[in-house]
Amino acid sequence: MIEWQWLEFESIPRSDLYEVLRQRQEVFVLEQTCLYPDLDGHDEAAHHLMAWQTIDGTRRLVAYLRCLAPGAKYTEMSLGRILTPAIARGTGIGRQLVAEGIRRAEQQHPGHRIRIGAQQRLEQFYQGFGFTTISAPYDEDGIPHIDMLR
């Protein structure tokens, strides 16, 4: 069973925030070998969607994303820092995460479009959620990315 949390930054319990930041570092900095400032100044104004699951008796973060309001980074609202830790990959939780993130974001900011900066290899994945590619591929920290809009 998945426990979903949709929280503003200041409402995230410290131990949960630590786990989110630890997983972001694990996935985006260590696994993808990208030296970049993950703590970019946007977290405090964002809503954070976390998926928790008890695995072998321990509550584990199995998926995460953040939602920025329209105007915070782009004209549109945006979803970013989308991740699934290694322990949960291949379970379908990534699809659940994006669907739940879109649902919650549209409730939070009705009538606004959603922009993402996606890794190019995930273009078809995001197209399955109604996103269309709006940019040519570009390099971000050594990984080909594209901008997409829904």
**Residue written as token pair 């390099």:** 139
Q: Which CATH number does the domain housing residue 48 bear?
A: 3.40.630.30
Number of structural domains found in the chain: 1
* Beta-strand relationship, 77-83 and 114-119: parallel
Q: Give the pLDDT of residue 31.
A: 84
What residue numbers bound the domain in which 21 lies?
3-149
Q: Is the pLDDT of residue 141 over 90?
A: no
pLDDT tens digits, one per residue of 84-104:
999 999 999 999 999 999 999
Q: Is the pLDDT of residue 52 over 90?
A: yes
- For 111, which DSSP code? T
Whether this model's pTM surpasses 0.85: yes
CA dihedral 49, 53, 55, 57 (to 10 degrees): 120
